[in-house]
Protein backbone atom coordinates (compact mmCIF):
# COMPACT_ATOMS: atom_id res chain seq x y z
CA UNK A 1 0.00 0.00 0.00
CA UNK A 2 1.25 3.47 -0.90
CA UNK A 3 -0.82 5.10 1.87
CA UNK A 4 -1.32 8.80 1.17
CA UNK A 5 0.44 10.33 -1.81
CA UNK A 6 0.64 13.96 -2.90
CA UNK A 7 1.60 15.61 -6.16
CA UNK A 8 3.55 17.69 -6.87
CA UNK A 9 6.29 17.66 -4.20
CA UNK A 10 7.48 21.18 -4.97
CA UNK A 11 6.00 24.12 -6.85
CA UNK A 12 6.84 27.76 -7.39
CA UNK A 13 4.05 30.12 -8.46
CA UNK A 14 3.88 33.78 -9.29
CA UNK A 15 1.29 35.92 -7.53
CA UNK A 16 -2.07 35.53 -9.23
CA UNK A 17 -1.38 32.14 -10.82
CA UNK A 18 -3.55 29.14 -10.07
CA UNK A 19 -2.76 25.54 -9.34
CA UNK A 20 -4.23 22.31 -8.02
CA UNK A 21 -2.67 19.97 -5.48
CA UNK A 22 -3.66 16.32 -5.74
CA UNK A 23 -3.98 13.91 -2.85
CA UNK A 24 -4.68 10.21 -3.24
CA UNK A 25 -5.16 7.49 -0.62
CA UNK A 26 -5.48 3.74 -1.03
CA UNK A 27 -6.75 2.87 2.46
CA UNK A 28 -10.46 3.26 1.61
CA UNK A 29 -10.76 6.04 4.19
CA UNK A 30 -13.93 8.10 4.24
CA UNK A 31 -12.35 11.21 5.73
CA UNK A 32 -9.72 13.37 4.07
CA UNK A 33 -8.10 16.62 5.13
CA UNK A 34 -5.88 19.41 3.85
CA UNK A 35 -3.51 21.18 6.25
CA UNK A 36 -0.89 23.85 5.93
CA UNK A 37 2.20 23.97 8.11
CA UNK A 38 4.05 27.22 8.71
CA UNK A 39 7.05 27.88 11.00
CA UNK A 40 5.91 28.61 14.54
CA UNK A 41 2.24 28.00 13.69
CA UNK A 42 1.75 24.26 13.81
CA UNK A 43 -0.59 22.40 11.48
CA UNK A 44 -3.79 24.24 10.56
CA UNK A 45 -6.80 22.67 8.87
CA UNK A 46 -7.82 24.26 5.56
CA UNK A 47 -10.70 22.06 4.35
CA UNK A 48 -11.87 18.54 4.95
CA UNK A 49 -14.22 15.95 3.51
CA UNK A 50 -16.36 13.37 5.29
CA UNK A 51 -17.04 11.36 2.15
CA UNK A 52 -17.19 11.34 -1.63
CA UNK A 53 -18.92 14.45 -2.95
CA UNK A 54 -18.72 16.34 0.37
CA UNK A 55 -16.44 19.14 1.54
CA UNK A 56 -16.35 21.46 4.55
CA UNK A 57 -14.35 24.46 5.74
CA UNK A 58 -11.65 24.17 8.34
CA UNK A 59 -9.79 26.78 10.32
CA UNK A 60 -8.15 28.70 7.44
CA UNK A 61 -10.23 28.16 4.26
CA UNK A 62 -9.96 31.58 2.61
CA UNK A 63 -8.25 31.54 -0.79
CA UNK A 64 -8.63 27.77 -1.24
CA UNK A 65 -11.19 25.48 -2.82
CA UNK A 66 -11.48 21.70 -2.69
CA UNK A 67 -13.23 18.88 -4.44
CA UNK A 68 -13.80 15.20 -3.65
CA UNK A 69 -15.21 13.66 -6.82
CA UNK A 70 -13.80 10.23 -6.03
CA UNK A 71 -13.44 8.64 -2.61
CA UNK A 72 -9.72 8.11 -3.00
CA UNK A 73 -8.87 11.62 -4.23
CA UNK A 74 -9.02 15.05 -2.59
CA UNK A 75 -7.99 18.11 -4.60
CA UNK A 76 -6.90 21.47 -3.20
CA UNK A 77 -7.09 24.46 -5.52
CA UNK A 78 -5.60 27.92 -5.34
CA UNK A 79 -7.42 30.20 -7.81
CA UNK A 80 -5.19 33.27 -7.42
CA UNK A 81 -2.06 32.55 -5.42
CA UNK A 82 -0.75 35.08 -2.90
CA UNK A 83 2.63 35.22 -1.12
CA UNK A 84 0.79 34.49 2.16
CA UNK A 85 0.00 31.04 0.76
CA UNK A 86 3.68 30.11 0.72
CA UNK A 87 3.69 27.06 2.97
CA UNK A 88 4.03 23.31 3.18
CA UNK A 89 0.72 21.57 2.45
CA UNK A 90 -0.16 18.18 3.87
CA UNK A 91 -3.00 15.91 2.98
CA UNK A 92 -4.27 13.34 5.48
CA UNK A 93 -6.92 10.67 5.65
CA UNK A 94 -8.62 8.69 8.39
CA UNK A 95 -11.18 5.96 8.95
CA UNK A 96 -13.23 8.35 11.09
CA UNK A 97 -12.83 11.75 12.76
CA UNK A 98 -12.15 9.98 16.06
CA UNK A 99 -9.30 7.90 14.70
CA UNK A 100 -5.71 8.69 13.83
CA UNK A 101 -4.96 10.53 10.61
CA UNK A 102 -2.38 9.32 8.11
CA UNK A 103 -0.40 12.03 6.37
CA UNK A 104 1.13 12.37 2.94
CA UNK A 105 4.70 13.53 2.32
CA UNK A 106 3.73 17.15 1.71
CA UNK A 107 3.95 19.75 -1.05
CA UNK A 108 6.25 22.73 -0.61
CA UNK A 109 4.69 25.73 -2.33
CA UNK A 110 6.41 29.07 -2.83
CA UNK A 111 4.49 32.07 -4.16
CA UNK A 112 6.63 34.96 -5.36
CA UNK B 1 -10.71 28.39 22.63
CA UNK B 2 -8.87 25.09 22.50
CA UNK B 3 -5.17 25.34 23.24
CA UNK B 4 -2.32 22.86 23.00
CA UNK B 5 1.09 23.83 24.35
CA UNK B 6 4.16 21.67 23.92
CA UNK B 7 7.33 22.07 25.94
CA UNK B 8 10.18 22.41 25.60
CA UNK B 9 10.31 23.85 22.07
CA UNK B 10 13.64 22.11 21.55
CA UNK B 11 15.53 19.46 23.50
CA UNK B 12 19.05 18.15 23.06
CA UNK B 13 19.97 14.82 24.63
CA UNK B 14 22.98 12.59 24.64
CA UNK B 15 22.44 9.06 23.42
CA UNK B 16 21.10 7.03 26.34
CA UNK B 17 19.94 10.11 28.30
CA UNK B 18 16.25 9.57 29.10
CA UNK B 19 13.81 12.50 29.23
CA UNK B 20 10.18 13.54 28.73
CA UNK B 21 8.29 15.85 26.41
CA UNK B 22 5.19 17.64 27.65
CA UNK B 23 1.88 18.43 25.98
CA UNK B 24 -0.56 20.47 28.05
CA UNK B 25 -4.03 21.18 26.76
CA UNK B 26 -7.17 23.17 27.38
CA UNK B 27 -10.18 21.80 25.52
CA UNK B 28 -13.88 21.77 26.18
CA UNK B 29 -14.31 18.02 25.86
CA UNK B 30 -11.33 15.77 25.19
CA UNK B 31 -12.11 12.87 22.87
CA UNK B 32 -8.54 11.77 22.31
CA UNK B 33 -4.91 12.84 22.31
CA UNK B 34 -2.54 11.89 19.51
CA UNK B 35 1.24 11.85 19.28
CA UNK B 36 3.02 12.09 15.93
CA UNK B 37 6.64 12.06 14.86
CA UNK B 38 7.77 14.29 11.99
CA UNK B 39 11.13 13.96 10.27
CA UNK B 40 12.52 16.92 8.27
CA UNK B 41 10.84 17.26 4.89
CA UNK B 42 8.28 14.54 5.61
CA UNK B 43 4.71 14.26 6.77
CA UNK B 44 3.76 13.47 10.39
CA UNK B 45 3.85 9.79 11.28
CA UNK B 46 1.29 8.47 13.76
CA UNK B 47 2.65 7.11 17.05
CA UNK B 48 -0.06 6.83 19.71
CA UNK B 49 -3.64 7.63 20.63
CA UNK B 50 -4.71 8.07 24.26
CA UNK B 51 -8.38 8.35 25.11
CA UNK B 52 -8.69 8.68 28.88
CA UNK B 53 -6.73 9.85 31.92
CA UNK B 54 -4.45 7.16 33.27
CA UNK B 55 -4.01 5.47 29.92
CA UNK B 56 -0.48 4.56 28.78
CA UNK B 57 0.88 3.33 25.45
CA UNK B 58 4.38 2.06 24.63
CA UNK B 59 6.37 1.53 21.46
CA UNK B 60 10.04 0.65 21.57
CA UNK B 61 11.77 3.46 23.53
CA UNK B 62 8.67 5.66 23.65
CA UNK B 63 5.93 5.71 26.26
CA UNK B 64 2.98 8.09 26.23
CA UNK B 65 0.87 8.89 29.28
CA UNK B 66 -2.24 11.00 29.79
CA UNK B 67 -3.71 12.99 32.68
CA UNK B 68 -6.72 15.33 32.69
CA UNK B 69 -4.51 18.32 31.87
CA UNK B 70 -1.46 17.01 30.02
CA UNK B 71 0.32 14.20 28.28
CA UNK B 72 3.92 13.13 28.49
CA UNK B 73 6.04 11.37 25.92
CA UNK B 74 8.80 9.58 27.79
CA UNK B 75 11.88 8.61 25.82
CA UNK B 76 14.03 5.95 27.44
CA UNK B 77 17.68 5.55 26.42
CA UNK B 78 17.20 7.48 23.17
CA UNK B 79 19.25 6.84 20.05
CA UNK B 80 20.24 9.32 17.32
CA UNK B 81 17.51 7.90 15.07
CA UNK B 82 14.93 9.19 17.57
CA UNK B 83 15.83 12.73 16.51
CA UNK B 84 12.70 14.34 15.04
CA UNK B 85 9.95 16.81 15.82
CA UNK B 86 7.25 15.32 18.03
CA UNK B 87 3.74 16.70 17.60
CA UNK B 88 0.84 16.45 19.99
CA UNK B 89 -2.78 16.91 18.88
CA UNK B 90 -6.02 16.89 20.86
CA UNK B 91 -9.41 15.89 19.56
CA UNK B 92 -12.49 17.49 21.03
CA UNK B 93 -16.11 17.48 20.11
CA UNK B 94 -18.18 20.56 19.43
CA UNK B 95 -21.70 19.44 18.79
CA UNK B 96 -21.64 16.93 15.96
CA UNK B 97 -18.20 17.96 14.71
CA UNK B 98 -14.83 16.79 15.93
CA UNK B 99 -11.89 19.14 15.86
CA UNK B 100 -8.20 18.23 15.96
CA UNK B 101 -5.89 20.92 17.35
CA UNK B 102 -2.14 20.53 16.96
CA UNK B 103 0.63 21.87 19.15
CA UNK B 104 3.70 23.48 17.62
CA UNK B 105 5.92 20.52 18.40
CA UNK B 106 9.13 19.71 20.26
CA UNK B 107 12.31 19.37 18.21
CA UNK B 108 14.33 16.54 19.71
CA UNK B 109 18.00 16.09 18.85
CA UNK B 110 19.86 13.06 20.16
CA UNK B 111 23.62 13.27 19.86
CA UNK B 112 25.75 10.11 19.58
Looking at residue B30, its pLDDT comes to 86
Cβ–Cβ below 8 Å for A103 and B100: no
- Alpha-carbon distance of B22 to B72, in angstroms, equals 5
**10-residue averages of pLDDT along chain A (112 residues):** 94 97 97 95 94 94 97 97 98 92 98 98
Residues B23-71 have pLDDT tens digits of 999 987 888 999 999 999 999 999 999 999 999 999 999 999 999 999 9
Res B1 pLDDT > 90: no
- Alpha-carbon distance of A78 to A80, in angstroms, equals 6
Contact status, residue A30 vs residue A51, Cβ threshold 8 Å: yes
Q: Count CA within 13 A, CB hemisphere, residue B30.
A: 22
Res B96 pLDDT > 60: no
Mean pLDDT of chain B: 94
Which of B34, B91, B105 faces A42 most closely, judged by CB atoms? B105
Res B97 pLDDT > 70: no
For residue B26, count CB atoms less than 10 angstroms from its CB and return exposed for 0-12, middle for 13-18, buried for 19 or more.
middle
- Alpha-carbon distance of B22 to A103, in angstroms, equals 23
pLDDT band (50, 70, 90) for residue B92: confident
Picking from A33, A43, A46, A49 by the largest number of B CB atoms within 10 A of its own CB, the best residue to mutate is A43
Amino acid sequence: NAGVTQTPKFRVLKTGQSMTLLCAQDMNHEYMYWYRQDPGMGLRLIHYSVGEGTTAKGEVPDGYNVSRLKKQNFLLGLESAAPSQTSVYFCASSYSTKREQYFGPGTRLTVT
Amino acid sequence: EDQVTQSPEALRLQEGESSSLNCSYTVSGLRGLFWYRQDPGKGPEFLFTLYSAGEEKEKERLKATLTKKESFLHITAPKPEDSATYLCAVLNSGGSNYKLTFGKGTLLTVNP
